[in-house]
């Protein structure tokens, strides 16, 4: 599916509202107000509120797949450095698209069936399989140790990053960084989180610190 300028604007405004107040906590009238359109336009373009959410997932899902493949295919680079690139790629993505990741981390709790759950599962499967291949590659080169629980490792990477951005307001208060500007805080998070996740990942994959 392709989206026109107006559709993308609606999707962006809806995304912001869904992130802030939840899918069920946001009414189509609020979306229409924010996007400065008539309520009927949402049904006209997307069919329904639910399908608008699906369109957002569809749109965001497509983007991420390419970046991962690109990194995996790189040659002349150590496996651990590929992992590092994937981590940094993920952190940048999650910081740039905080609203979408907030929605996803909320909706994946609720939707254990339905079209959105299927989209999420597909995304996860893709990522997982790519990383599994990468780790096997590292194991063959004896860079990584033999028994690695890929699922738990990814749960930690994704869980840490997700939890950080979904609870940013708590984190800021607890780490006494609430005087910082939002942009500076994001920058600071990016560096710290990158270092942190690379440290953990290295410990899990190799036997070094």
Partner DNA sequence: CGCAAAGTTAAACAAATGTTTAATTAACTT
Partner DNA sequence: AAGTTAATTAAACATTTGTTTAACTTTGCG
4 touching DNA, by CB under 7 A: yes
Which whole-number Å values give the CA distances from 2 to 6, 8, 58, 170, in the listed order? Answer: 12, 10, 10, 38
Q: Which residue in 105, 116, 138, 205 binds a copy of itself (CB under 8 A)?
A: 105
CA neighbor of 91 nearest in space, from 206, 200, 204, 196: 196
- Give one DSSP letter per residue of 129-175, joined into a string: HHHHHHHHHHHHTTSS-S---HHHHHHHHHHHHHHHHHTHHHHHHHT
Asked if 147 interacts with a copy of itself (CB under 8 A), we say no
Token pair 């979306």: residue: 31
State yes or no: residue 48 binds a copy of itself (CB under 8 A).
no
Alpha-carbon span 168 to 124, nearest angstrom: 23
Does residue 159 touch a copy of itself according to CB under 8 A? yes
38 binds DNA (CB under 7 A): yes
Residue 34 engages DNA in binding (rule: CB under 7 A): no
Count how many Cα atoms sit within 13 Å of the Cα of residue 167 in the half-sphere of its side chain. 11
Check binding of 188 to a copy of itself (CB under 8 A).
Answer: no
User: Considering only residues 122-141, where is the footprint of a copy of itself by CB under 8 A?
Assistant: 124-125, 128
The interface with DNA within residues 73-112 (CB under 7 A) comprises: none
Q: Give SS3 for 24.
A: coil
Of a copy of itself, DNA, none, which one sits near residue 191, judging by CB under 5 to 8 A according to partner kind? none
Tokens linked to 194: 């990158």
The binding site for a copy of itself (CB under 8 A) comprises 19-25, 102, 105-106, 108-110, 112, 117, 120-121, 124-125, 128, 149, 151-152, 155-156, 158-164, 166-167, 169-171, 173-175, 192-193, 196, 199-200, 203-204, 207, 209
The binding site for DNA (CB under 7 A) comprises 4, 6, 26-30, 37-44, 47-50
């Amino acid at each position: 599916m392709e989206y026109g300028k107006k559709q993308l604007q609606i999707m962006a405004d809806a995304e912001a509202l869904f992130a802030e107040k939840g899918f069920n906590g946001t009414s189509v009238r609020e979306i229409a107000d924010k996007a400065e359109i008539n309520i009927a336009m949402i049904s006209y373009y997307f069919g329904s509120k639910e399908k608008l959410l699906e369109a957002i997932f569809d749109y965001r899902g497509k983007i991420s797949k390419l970046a991962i493949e690109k990194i995996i295919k790189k040659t002349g680079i150590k496996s651990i450095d590929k992992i590092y690139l994937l981590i940094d790629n993920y952190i940048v993505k999650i910081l740039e698209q905080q609203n979408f990741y907030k929605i996803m981390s909320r909706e994946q709790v609720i939707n254990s069936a339905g079209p959105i759950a299927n989209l999420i599962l597909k995304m996860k499967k893709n990522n997982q399989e790519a990383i599994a291949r990468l780790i096997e590659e590292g194991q063959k080169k004896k860079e990584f140790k033999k028994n690695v629980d890929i699922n738990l490792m990814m749960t930690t990477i994704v869980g840490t990053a997700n939890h950080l951005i979904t609870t940013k307001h708590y984190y800021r208060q607890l780490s006494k960084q609430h005087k910082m500007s939002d942009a500076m805080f994001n920058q600071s998070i990016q560096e710290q989180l990158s270092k942190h996740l690379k440290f953990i990942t290295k410990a899990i994959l190799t036997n070094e610190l």
